[in-house]
Structure 1
């Protein structure tokens, strides 16, 4: 067989294999084998996630992957979701807009925590609107319903439109009417949950239901009694989120569509459970974060949800509720439990302890995701997690201030979790002081070989613990720490040891009299370091006069130092390397 034939066969195999690889790291490795494979990856890469829009430019991305069909672009870091960034930090789409319109095959665009203006939308939609099948403006800001009108009138082939968590200016419902009139009867997913769009004209929603095969709808605070006709018009609806129950209405004749598999209802009380029970057996996903159920109400409902795979709720569920969940919902794959009121600083209700965690570890053995806020936990309970939840890939534990926790530190428990759950790639522990010693940090480094994203809070005793951690975790790409007792020097040394690290965000560290000088030790090619002095937050009124510790944010960037930062963000001048 000739050399050319061998090359052609190799190209055919790689061209077939590349689209089936899920991990971007695998695709990147293949592209490094030879120039030909690099070029094949360039031509056939279908999806790209840009973890920070300042990490590269739109022009650079277009030159590298000109034929992508799907793009996820993240603006501000995750800390923005918790109001931990100063005002006007950045995250503007505008520099990217001219490049986005150049991608000839782009049909799916997901913007996360990005500032998007109506002008950005007009430029983007005028060029790509007829091709877009999915548009997600997730936790974005800067645009109004004028921008939504442009989308509704131009993007006729949208199958998915998501606006969840976005702050939308001049909210009104005219865009919803135009969406119903102009969409080519293909829209399946519509979400404007947790936005400033609350009161809507239900007739527009009903018109949309008549014209489009809706499968997922997430809206704002609308009484379910107003949605009776809407539900009757959407027999194929599988997911609904956002409606509310009122104590002033009679829901005797109310019912959800028979195919419903996912529900999130606000202000639901035990008296409203008869409206949910008829579909409880078919529910795969249930969000009770904003329900008004007590622990007994949780038990009554969850005991009927035998096929549940995803549950989001608050600590009001109590240990008793977790025990019922463990007995009834053995197919559960994802469990997220936040504080009652979704406020980690204001603990109410019974709280959760090792009793509930042990029940979950023994009864829900298919769990892949576990995020839980607790007031008390033991090493034994964490050991049960490690023994039984081998499928776990995302583990997040917050130990809140409250009752006495008698089994600190949790070094052995954390070690057991990481030893038993070897697939964990996302790991977060925010404890109390004394909750994890330097030895415990060493365990994370030793057994966290697959962790890619990590958040640590109130852990460790000295710099030695952080340095022990940094000797391991070879795949760690993203590290967040808040707050900590580590010095600037230790943080800089650790950053250089994490061989795969792409971003480091730290709020609250042990400052020295050398200011930010020690942070320069982490300097490397394409590395940006930004400092936000604690007083900068107070100047912008973010903390209402409460003192805030300084923040350091370091990240890789092929685009160089950004120029759109506010005066409260100070880029550090790095030495030439």
Structure 2
């Protein structure tokens, strides 16, 4: 009996396109486009973004523009490798045709002679992008070093609908940026990161031309951009909502102008060593809608700055303080009392912030959902007790090198924050089995657990996790020397949804653990087994045969894994995308069949 097409006969084009719009994976889209010609054409119409290498020939760009007519976003990166398209028309096998394996396209001798495909994006190529993609709204040029002012000017003249432009690492001058300001009046997002050729003149002309619609501006490592251009931004970019500055040439004067002239500011990220309290006090006074504030490596900010933020920015939700040595518990208290809507707090290397400031966060910011404490040596053993008491909605906790935090604090979190879904702990040597067991008993929704290099945690903790956290998907126990087969086997039996596992540097681990993982964790996609001296080909082969969804595997410094084990892994796991291994463990035959997915620990010098 002939098969009946029950989809194409019933579903109209509009509904099929709606379905394609909800496919986020490129793999899924490509699979749908192979069903039939109708689906191929509809999928092309519903694709709005592409990512290509800057080595892509102009002829290929013209082909893409004719195929994907509704593209809104084009991402071009010089660091990406180029993949030339298959010639249109019927496929033919012959002496001159290239071969294709499931691991990658075979080489074509004639392709190496095509110099067009190996050159970086030029001005004429950029002009082609502007002229051929009629509906383009977003363009990212990442480290496209051959593009000059001439190309950017030609592009801007042809693509006046542009709304977002990323010029990271491009040596663009003032003329190109001025042309964008003059032609692209709807521009609202601009990233100037590592654009060393720009000066104040270019940014000023852009602000004068299209500044009224600009909502997001990023400037980093542009040594010739100073306060002068920021003053113009402050006076002409009234709609600015997001500003990111990483500069040694910006002083208080520039940020003061932006703070006073841009009352819509919602996100501010600063790494400017010459700013002082005066600049941040202006932010607290004028940017009353501020929701996100990140301060990095400031040696001149004091608690006066945070007092101004706490007093004026009551809508603040995200706060990051990194390497700000003169901020103390007092400043964090000001923010906690003045900004009760905080949901994300990160304190990184601020040596004068300790237990008292953290307790203020727990007492006044009851809606906190994520807390990160990195390299905080002044936080005591009971620092998290107030967080556990007050922050019932906490979902993520990150602790790195907090030497005084131990089981007592983790138990407080476990009892009070039962909605915890992510717990990352690294080099907190006082945290042991008791704390992790409490997490397992109380936090039933835990899906991501990382306890790297915590020497006091052993099998007992993992057995509790296996029994109490069936939703666990990500687990990293790298460097936990007390963990052996019993703990990993308990995870294999109790956490069937596990998709990521790092068991590197576990000296006690044997093949028994891998065999149990193969039996219980069929959804495993990524595994790291490096520095496991007792693992052999037997355990690896069993894991490969059972975990058919494996996509990446790290296997360096495993003396029991040989050339045979690597070959078995690659031939068995048909979805494998990356294998990290020593070069001498890969046979010539494996290199020929799977060279594109193999990454080596080191290369020959």
| TM-score, length of structure 1 as denominator length | 0.69
User: C-alpha displacement at 1:197, in angstroms?
Assistant: 2.5
1:378 aligns with 2:458: yes
- The answer (yes or no) to whether the contact 1:186–1:212 under 8 Å persists in 2 is no
The 2-side partners of 1:4 and 1:494 are apart by 40
Deviates more, 1:382-391 or 1:56-65: 56-65
- The answer (yes or no) to whether the contact 2:266–2:292 under 8 Å persists in 1 is yes
Please give the per-residue CA displacement for 1:325-384, whole angstroms capped at 9, x wherever unaligned. 45543423344444479xxxxx98756444444455555555555545342222333344
User: C-alpha displacement at 1:240, in angstroms?
Assistant: 1.5
The 2-side partners of 1:136 and 1:130 are apart by 16
1:264 aligns with 2:320: yes
Aligned to 1:311: 371
- The answer (yes or no) to whether the contact 1:318–1:351 under 8 Å persists in 2 is no
Aligned positions of 1:193-208 closer than 5 A:
197-208=247-258
Aligned positions of 1:365-514 closer than 5 A:
369-376=448-455, 377-389=457-469, 393-399=473-479, 405=481, 407-409=482-484, 411-417=485-491, 424-425=498-499, 427-429=500-502, 431-434=504-507, 436-459=509-532, 461-485=535-559, 486-506=561-581, 509=582, 511=584
- The answer (yes or no) to whether the contact 1:145–1:175 under 8 Å persists in 2 is yes
> Residue 127 of structure 1 is aligned with which of 155, 158, 164?
155
Please give the per-residue CA displacement for 1:267-305, whole angstroms capped at 9, x wherever unaligned. 243232223212453112222234336662574244233
Aligned to 1:234: 287
Aligned to 2:394: 332
Aligned to 2:18: 16
The 2-side partners of 1:141 and 1:292 are apart by 34
SS of residue matched to 1:241: strand
Greater Rg, structure 1 or structure 2?
2
The 1-side partners of 2:75 and 2:575 are apart by 21
1:107 aligns with 2:137: yes
Aligned to 1:558: none
SS of residue matched to 2:308: coil
How many residues are paired up?
A: 496
Aligned to 1:214: 265
SS of residue matched to 1:291: coil
The 2-side partners of 1:10 and 1:27 are apart by 18
The 2-side partners of 1:190 and 1:418 are apart by 47
Aligned positions of 1:23-422 closer than 5 A:
23-48=25-50, 59=61, 65=68, 67-70=70-73, 94-95=120-121, 98=126, 101=130, 102-109=132-139, 115-117=143-145, 119=147, 123=151, 126-127=154-155, 130-135=160-165, 141=169, 143=171, 149=177, 153=181, 156-161=185-190, 169=196, 180-191=207-218, 197-209=247-259, 210-211=261-262, 213-221=264-272, 222-242=275-295, 244=298, 246=300, 250-251=304-305, 254-256=308-310, 257-266=313-322, 267=324, 268-292=327-351, 296-297=355-356, 299-304=358-363, 305-314=365-374, 316=376, 320-321=382-383, 325-339=387-401, 352-361=431-440, 369-376=448-455, 377-389=457-469, 393-399=473-479, 405=481, 407-409=482-484, 411-417=485-491
User: C-alpha displacement at 1:29, in angstroms?
Assistant: 3.5
Please give the per-residue CA displacement for 1:130-185, whole angstroms capped at 9, x wherever unaligned. 44434457xx656578699569846654444457xx65647977766566544444
The 1-side partners of 2:563 and 2:380 are apart by 40
Deviates more, 1:305-314 or 1:354-363: 354-363
Give the direction of change, closer, same or farther, for the CA distance of 1:319–1:122 in structure 2 (3 Å limit): farther
Higher relative contact order (CA 8 A, sep 6+): 1
Aligned to 1:551: none
Give the direction of change, closer, same or farther, for the CA distance of 1:370–1:4 in structure 2 (3 Å limit): closer
- The answer (yes or no) to whether the contact 1:452–1:476 under 8 Å persists in 2 is yes
- The answer (yes or no) to whether the contact 2:447–2:474 under 8 Å persists in 1 is yes
SS of residue matched to 1:16: helix
| TM-score, length of structure 2 as denominator length | 0.66
Q: Which runs of 5+ in 1 are unaligned?
A: 78-91, 342-346, 537-577
Give the direction of change, closer, same or farther, for the CA distance of 1:431–1:38 in structure 2 (3 Å limit): same
The 1-side partners of 2:71 and 2:65 are apart by 9
Aligned to 1:550: none
The 1-side partners of 2:569 and 2:135 are apart by 41
The 1-side partners of 2:56 and 2:495 are apart by 32
- The answer (yes or no) to whether the contact 1:18–1:27 under 8 Å persists in 2 is yes
Please give the per-residue CA displacement for 1:214-265, whole angstroms capped at 9, x wherever unaligned. 3222221444542222343322221111254747674485124111111112
- The answer (yes or no) to whether the contact 1:118–1:144 under 8 Å persists in 2 is no
The 2-side partners of 1:63 and 1:478 are apart by 36
- The answer (yes or no) to whether the contact 1:157–1:186 under 8 Å persists in 2 is yes
The 2-side partners of 1:9 and 1:126 are apart by 43
Aligned to 2:415: none
- The answer (yes or no) to whether the contact 2:570–2:594 under 8 Å persists in 1 is no
Give the direction of change, closer, same or farther, for the CA distance of 1:534–1:25 in structure 2 (3 Å limit): closer
